[in-house]
Amino acid sequence: MSENEKVDEILLTLDEKLEKTVSVLQENFAAIRAGRANPHILDKLQVEAYGMMSPLQQLGNIAVSDARCLVISPWDKSLLKAIEKAILASNIGITPSNDGTVIRLVFPELTEERRRDLVKQVRKMGEETKVAARNNRRDAMEALKKLKNGKEISEDEADNANIDVEDAIAKCIEKIDKIVSAKEKELLTV
């Protein structure tokens, strides 16, 4: 690490941005259904309840009853219709069944064609995440260049910091590749 606090701050900011970029990718992948019941598919679902929008998780219990079925048990049964309406409007591709006490979401078997489409989507998201990581690299490099041009750091310090930036980006892209290949494997597993 450099003795210059400004360089350390740039590198720390870069690490934080890269971590955030990877965590956003993981959150997005959690919402992609792979033919198995996954409660994370409902993480971003908002339901109109008591005159305001609330996350589904705050309105009831979401449980995996078997490999292909989620059961949503609202704490207030009067919300069943609102939850059902929110699921239908969310475009997750699953039709809820409401039996008056719980809502069941049965995940259909994915077709081979749908699996391939999802793999393409996953790869595209992975590439977009790599672009975001590279944009973070560009920002860090520009900040280091300003410090060097402003004579706040030496040529050697700038070169060493640039190497640190490149290492951080390489590790991040490797991590993204691992996450993408794990999601691909999950999608293609029948």
Going from N- to C-terminal start, the domains of the chain cover: 5-31+111-188, 39-106
* pLDDT tens figures, 166-180: 999 999 999 999 999
| CATH code of the region 39-106 | 3.30.1360.40
pTM for this predicted structure: 0.71
* pLDDT tens figures, 79-131: 889 998 888 888 777 888 888 889 998 887 778 888 888 899 999 999 999 99
pLDDT attached to residue 41 = 80
Mean pLDDT across 56-83: 88
- Residues whose CB is less than 8 angstroms from the CB of residue 49 and which lie 6 or more positions away in sequence, other chains included: 59, 76, 79, 82
The highest-level CATH class for domain 5-31+111-188 is mainly alpha
Strands 69-74 and 52-55: unpaired
In what helix (H) or strand (E) does residue 86 lie, and over which residues does it extend?
A: helix 80-90
Q: Is 10 exposed, middle or buried (0-12, 13-18, 19+ CB in 10 A)?
A: buried
* Token pair listed for 8: 């350390």
CA dist 54 and 41 (Å) reads: 16
CA dist 64 and 94 (Å) reads: 15
Q: Please answer whether residues 67 and 37 qualify as being in contact, where contact means their C-beta atoms are separated by less than 8 angstroms.
A: yes
Closest CA relative to residue 179, chosen from 128, 140, 116: 128
Closest CA relative to residue 75, chosen from 49, 52, 53: 49
Q: How confident is the model at residue 2 (pLDDT cuts 50, 70, 90)?
A: very low
CA dist 172 and 25 (Å) reads: 12
